[in-house]
Chain A
Amino acid sequence: DAGVIQSPRHEVTEMGQEVTLRCKPISGHNSLFWYRQTMMRGLELLIYFNNNVPIDDSGMPEDRFSAKMPNASFSTLKIQPSEPRDSAVYFCASTRGPRNYNSPLHFGNGTRLTVT
């Protein structure tokens, strides 16, 4: 089991640039979550997918953020255009679901995004 794989581990970009974060969930997991972690707001759920379908994107801060899951083994979170306030650590997590709510989420190592 390779775990949840996120790339890149660090991303530094200039304001206005497009940023794409990538995630490969654990094989066999059919629920995928994107979280953002900041000192001020803690861990915030941005969006989650069940069976590749977005279920709840109410946490996506604004239209500059978008997420896709084209297949069971890949998801992206895109920010366009990026702003300094988007600087944070972005986590992807996967789990068996949606009915297996007793299953813990397995997290990737996160992407630290810095927008200058």
Chain B
Amino acid sequence: AQTVTQSQPEMSVQEAETVTLSCTYDTSESNYYLFWYKQPPSRQMILVIRQEAYKQQNATENRFSVNFQKAAKSFSLKISDSQLGDTAMYFCACRTGANSKLTFGKGITLSVRP
């Protein structure tokens, strides 16, 4: 079974600045995918970005990018040019090929200050 840990309960960033959200995971599987989901106050779960474990290149999606350190089992999310609409809870998640479950971390609340 996989585990996902997000140790920071909340963070705050000034609008237009850059912020990094931390995540570590643990799995014995060699094939897995990592995801970041965003949950705004509307409570909708929105996929932000995903990373394939066998790819060394870090995934990017516009202002969002990841720093994937496979050996350290670390998967952090960097948000550049933060916008007020980025205010939300962010969840890190891991899905393996063995059981196909998507396991979530506890989440981090990000507040973007104007």
**Contact indicator B99/A56 (Cβ below 8 Å):** yes
For B100-114 the 0/1 string (1 means CB < 8 A from A) is 111111110000000
**Contact indicator B106/A109 (Cβ below 8 Å):** no
**Contact indicator A101/B45 (Cβ below 8 Å):** no
Binding site for B on A (CB under 8 A): 31, 33, 42-43, 45, 48, 50, 55-56, 89, 91, 93, 97-99, 101-102, 104-107, 109-110, 112
Interface size counted on chain B using CB atoms at 8 A: 24
CA distance A91 to B102 in the complex (A): 13
Checking A42, A104, A112 against B47 with a beta-carbon cut-off of 8 angstroms, the contacting residue is A104
**Contact indicator A104/B35 (Cβ below 8 Å):** yes
Nearest 6 A-B pairs (CB), nearest first? A107-B45, A43-B104, A98-B100, A42-B106, A101-B97, A104-B47
CA distance A107 to B100 in the complex (A): 16
